[in-house]
Amino acid sequence: MSIIGPSDYVLEAVNLYYTGHVEPPTWMKQVTGTIRSGMILRDVSFEVHSGEIMAILGSKGSGKKALLDVIACRSAGVKKGYVLLNGV
């Protein structure tokens, strides 16, 4: 276990699962008009230390914005797992 100094930060996600509204493609909305709920993130874990750069990459609809919303506590869906800053 390392000692964290005053300017050292660790952002950590542990086993994140997120279920929320999944918007269908525009053409499907015209046909059905419904928004369904589904799993957006499944078992996502990472650790970023101060001074490091992390990129979130993925195709359209892969959950990049959902991950950022969960990290920023802006998610409205059901979340399981932990987002920790310096272990808290």
User: Which pair of structure tokens corresponds to residue 39?
Assistant: 């799993």
63 located within any domain? yes
Does any domain span residue 1?
A: no
E strands, the chain, in order: 10-22, 36-49, 78-85
Domain that holds residue 15: 10-85
In the chain, how long is the greatest CA-to-CA distance? 57
User: Is pLDDT of 4 > 70?
Assistant: no
User: For residue 37, is it within any domain?
Assistant: yes
- β-pair partners for 78: 19
Residue 48 counted as domain residue: yes
Q: Inform me whether the pLDDT recorded for 61 exceeds 90.
A: no
Residue 69 lies in a domain: yes
Q: What is the pLDDT of residues 72-82, one digit of tens each?
A: 999 888 999 99
| Predicted structure pTM score | 0.74
**Count of the separate structural domains present in the chain:** 1
Q: Are 87 and 49 in contact (CB under 8 A)?
A: no
